[in-house]
Chains A and B, each alone.
Chain A
Amino acid sequence: MAVNNNSLLNNLTKGIIKENPTLITLLGMCPTLAVTTQAANGIGMGLATTFVLVCSNIVISALRKVIPDKVRIPAFIVIIASFVTLIGFLLEGFIPELYDSLGIYLALITVNCIIFGRAEMFASKNNIIASACDGLGMGIGFTLALFLMGSIREILGAGQWLGMNIPVIHDNPMLLFIMPAGGFFTLGMIIAAVNKISNKKPPLEIECGSCDKCPMAEKCDKMEGTDK
């Protein structure tokens, strides 16, 4: 992908709507589905991911000329995993309730395709400030998407929203929405709504996060022949 010197503002805002990682490019589906039973958890997960995304983007961008091309994937993994460990400590120390409710998914930020994808696609090719803006924008987009998912599921499934009781629904919540099946359903509906609003052709299929965005695409070019 050609490096284009877009303005910083563009780097920042493109992740929020135009290239929203969850709803448009369909990356990072696991946390999107897993932690969004409550709106507050969605925000917490989103902000934790944003922190890791910004930090790893900065470090990877700073080291982009030092890391040899051949070992870049293991190098990226170590950098990302270190920041995940760091945010784990911070949350455990300062917001233990959130730490408990995110549980194992906190450790799984390490393998979140968004972070990997941004490292590979953006941070390893752009300067530090642009990469930081890109990470921040993508992180905010991810947080907003998670907050939206969490709000819908919490309001319909539990009749609450950020601790407030919603009248009528609170007495007869649709439990389905906070169950796993409701997660898939809500995300499907949101993506359909996004398609309708943006009036664009729906993304054809997810091919393991679609090849052009996949950090492993180079290694798995054999994939294409088998996937017809």
Chain B
Amino acid sequence: MKTLAVILLSAMLTDNFVLSKFMGICPFLGVSKKLDSATGMGIAVTFVMICATCVTYPIHYFILVPNNLAYLDTVVFILVIALFVQLVETAMKKMLPSLYKALGVYLPLITTNCAVLGVTVLNIDNGFTFIQSIGNSLGGGLGFLLALVIFSGVRKKMEYADIPETFKGVPATLIAASIVSLSFMGFSGLFS
């Protein structure tokens, strides 16, 4: 059984959700243009990932498995996430208006972020305990934040670069992402 620290760090670095598992590519490319929006999105995703894990884990083990309904995982999880995101948005708007102002705009986009559904399904697939699941979600979320922040820095530099006409925009961004991903490959073999 892997220890908690290993799960957390490997979810964050070696198995980074964005750069090696390709989850959450849309926000990674879409929201990484500016540092503060990248940070906001990263924190919001981390928050929703942890909370979604807290909700979906008991649902899987205490409701679906005893009733032999484990195959409904995907349907139930995505609904729970959609519902949960809505709930967080409403609650945050009422109770923490300042936090809502900072993160609120990113919340509706998170429902369709595959990293959130991905992490909840992975926790179940890997047979993690509850604590390990939380560790995995926290690591995954922080890894997402790290990738977004690093990449927003790279894109800032790219704005001043002289890029050939055909590569302007998305192709150049993808190739830059490839180089960032290459650098994350340096972490592989960190835990074996």
Q: Are A107 and B117 in contact (CB under 8 A)?
A: yes
Q: Hey, what's the 0/1 contact readout for A158-199 against B, CB within 8 Å counting as 1?
A: 000000000000000000100111111101110111011000
Q: Which of B43-51, B71-79, B131-139 contacts its partner?
A: B71-79
Contacts of B31 in A (CB 8 A): 208
Q: Are B25 and A205 in contact (CB under 8 A)?
A: no
Looking at the complex, which one of A74, A88, A116, A220 makes contact with B109 (CB distance below 8 Å)?
A220
Closest to B116 in A: A111
Query: Of residues B26, B78, B105, B185, which shows the largest number of chain A Cβ atoms within 10 Å of its Cβ?
Result: B26
B interface, how many residues as a size bin?
35 or more
Interface of A is mostly: helix
Q: Are A191 and B174 in contact (CB under 8 A)?
A: yes
Q: Which of A42-50, A56-64, A76-84 contacts its partner?
A: A76-84
Interface residues of B in 17-73 (CB under 8 A from A): 19-27, 29-31, 33-34, 37, 71-73
Q: Are B25 and A33 in contact (CB under 8 A)?
A: yes
Interface of B is mostly: helix
Name A residues whose Cβ lies closer than 8 Å to a Cβ of B: 26, 29-31, 33-34, 73-74, 77-78, 81-82, 84-85, 88-89, 104, 107-108, 110-113, 116, 176, 179-185, 187-189, 191-193, 195-196, 202-209, 215-216, 219-220, 222-223, 226-227
Name B residues whose Cβ lies closer than 8 Å to a Cβ of A: 19-27, 29-31, 33-34, 37, 71-75, 78-79, 82-83, 104-105, 108-109, 111-114, 117-118, 121-122, 125, 165-175, 177-179, 181-182, 184-185
